[in-house]
Amino acid sequence: MSYPHPILAREGWPFLIGGGLAAVAVTALAGWAWASPLWLFFVFCVQFFRDPPRTVPVGENLVIAPADGKVIVVEETDDPWLNRRALKISVFMNVFNVHANRSPLAALVKQRWYNPGKFLNAAVAKASTENERNALWLQTPDGKDITCVQIAGLIARRILCHVDTGHELARGERYGFIRFGSRVDLYLPLGTMPRVTLGEKVSSGSTVLALLA
């Protein structure tokens, strides 16, 4: 899916247009003092919905970051979507990170699941199983299975996913967005070699998270 507007995410246009018009109107009618909170909101939205282009690494078996943020989980655990043991890598996004989500590898979307849920702090472990979430089962051309899960957070109230079953994703392709703070979990086949550590900051579409076995 091509995305022709890499500077400001299209998912933020309603907030940017609405906030900007409201700020201009209040400034004209009541002055800067009354309008200052609206201008602060507008500036916040500009930084939150920024969506810069990324240089996608080239190489076999590379798994790249699906989101900007901090690595908060690197562990072997159960994949609740494909009912298997897997290597889990989780990236937590705060409100200052870029929130566009990109495919971690070239793959076919085999299935998509959406589960409504709570809005707990996305940094806590139980957010993976209790929060609102959208999961994609991705299968590489050589048959390796990966689960990529968008998870809403304490403030985030809208998960956006622009692909569905049958869509072929390129590595680094932009496929979704989560508004206002969240996380993304990856469940990778056992034997995958992690290339990141806890606390490391990563960039969507450009940081290599792991090497598939």
Round to whole Å and give the CA distance between 51 and 42.
Answer: 16
Residues 48, 136: Cα–Cα separation, whole Å: 24
User: Taking the CB of residue 110, how many other CB atoms lie within 10 A of it?
Assistant: 15
Residue 86 to residue 147: CA distance in whole angstroms: 10
Which residues fall within 8 angstroms of residue 210, CB to CB, at 6 or more apart? 63, 87, 89, 188, 192, 193, 194, 195, 196
Position 42, amino acid: F
Q: Which two tokens stand for residue 207?
A: 């940081």
CB proximity list for 165: less than 8 A, separation 6 or greater: 109, 110, 111, 112
Write down the residue that tokens 């076999």 correspond to: 60
Which of 182, 203, 204, 206 does the annotation list as catalytic? 182
Is-catalytic flag, 128? no
- Contact between residue 71 and residue 89 where contact means Cβ atoms under 8 Å apart: yes
Give the number of C-alpha atoms closer than 13 A to the C-alpha of residue 153, restricted to the C-beta side. Answer: 21
Q: Which residues are catalytic?
A: 182
